[in-house]
Amino acid sequence: MTDTAARLFGNVAQKDPENATYRYHLGVALLQKGEKNKARTEFQAALTKKPQQADEKKIRELLAGIS
């Protein structure tokens, strides 16, 4: 299901790149697929879009865990 999630969130993030939630969930799917660099890019982009406070905390935790 990770591939499907990445594809779906990739599509909606492309259509609405200003949506922090879509970029966050795309980053999670990419991270689960092992695509750390792409996930990092999406998380960083999500942070610039003013995510909800709870999502921002999760994003920062995930970014800190990417080596």
Q: What is the pLDDT of residues 29-43, one digit of tens each?
A: 999 999 999 999 999
How many helices (H) and strands (E) would you count in the chain? Answer: 4, 0
pTM: 0.94
Q: What is the pLDDT of residues 44-62, one digit of tens each?
A: 999 999 999 999 999 999 9
Q: What is 2-65's CATH superfamily?
A: Tetratricopeptide repeat domain (1.25.40.10)
| In the chain, domain spans | 2-65
- Could you tell me the pLDDT band of residue 3, with boundaries at 50, 70 and 90? very high
Q: Residue 63 half-sphere exposure, CB side, CA atoms within 13 Å?
A: 15
Q: What integer pLDDT is reported at residue 67 of this predicted model? A: 75
